[in-house]
């Protein structure tokens, strides 16, 4: 505590301690696809296998700059090496109304098909946040910190003055 602020470094995750409001909408992935006929498609050169919240540090930046997105990377069952990255908004009720995206991975490909629906382009948000993390030099989680005050919160890199979100 420093005056009316709490300042500290991020050290590890506590995903087992999610608040009820942070818990994702339950249900099978396919049940989150709705309005498929209204979805947009485009291609990206960013490998969806690289964009991961699991990388030690990238999850901090992606979660800060692209909040409320749940992701799953599902490998094809036929052992082809193909995979689908599923992105969806995680608030209650998002199954029928939230934004979603899928990104198709194929080995040896340099372009990947994106399908997106909703007010938010979840792939654009997540991949831009991941690229920002890369531009920062791919810092590890222990280099990030959090400042919380009565007026809000901020996430910073290395020192509290270096705010990233």
Give me the residue label for tokens 């992105």: 87
Per-residue pLDDT of 32-76, as tens digits, reads: 777 778 899 999 999 999 997 777 789 899 989 998 898 889 999
CB 115 within 8 A of CB 44: no
> How far apart, in whole angstroms, are the C-alpha atoms of residue 89 and residue 120?
9
Cβ(126)–Cβ(134) below 8 Å: no
Higher pLDDT, 80 or 95: 80
For 116, phi then psi, to 5°, come to -140, 145
pLDDT for 2: 61
Cβ–Cβ < 8 Å for 70, 88: yes
Query: What pTM did the predictor assign?
Result: 0.85
Bigger pLDDT: 119 or 30?
Answer: 119
pLDDT digits (tens, 9 = 90+) for 89-141: 877 776 677 899 999 999 999 999 999 999 999 999 999 999 999 999 999 98
- Coil, helix or strand at residue 131: helix
Q: 114 or 149: which carries more pLDDT confidence? A: 114
Task: Please say if the pLDDT value at position 31 is more than 80.
Answer: no
Give mean pLDDT, residues 140-165: 92
Half-sphere exposure of 43 (CA within 13 A, CB side): 7
């Amino acid at each position: 505590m420093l005056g009316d602020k709490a300042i500290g470094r991020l050290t590890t995750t506590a995903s087992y301690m999610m608040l009820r409001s942070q818990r994702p909408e339950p249900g099978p992935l396919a049940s989150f696809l709705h309005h498929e006929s209204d979805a947009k498609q485009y291609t990206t050169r960013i490998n969806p296998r690289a964009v991961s919240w699991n990388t030690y540090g990238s999850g901090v930046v992606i979660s800060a700059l692209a909040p409320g997105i749940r992701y799953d990377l599902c490998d094809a069952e036929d052992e082809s090496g193909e995979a689908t990255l599923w992105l969806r908004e995680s608030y209650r009720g998002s199954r029928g109304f939230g934004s979603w995206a899928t990104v198709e991975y194929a080995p040896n490909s340099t372009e990947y098909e994106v399908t997106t629906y909703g007010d938010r382009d979840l792939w654009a948000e997540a991949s831009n946040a991941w690229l920002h993390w890369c531009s920062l030099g791919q810092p590890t989680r222990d280099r990030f910190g959090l400042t919380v005050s009565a007026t809000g919160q901020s996430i910073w890199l290395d020192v509290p003055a270096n705010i990233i979100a």
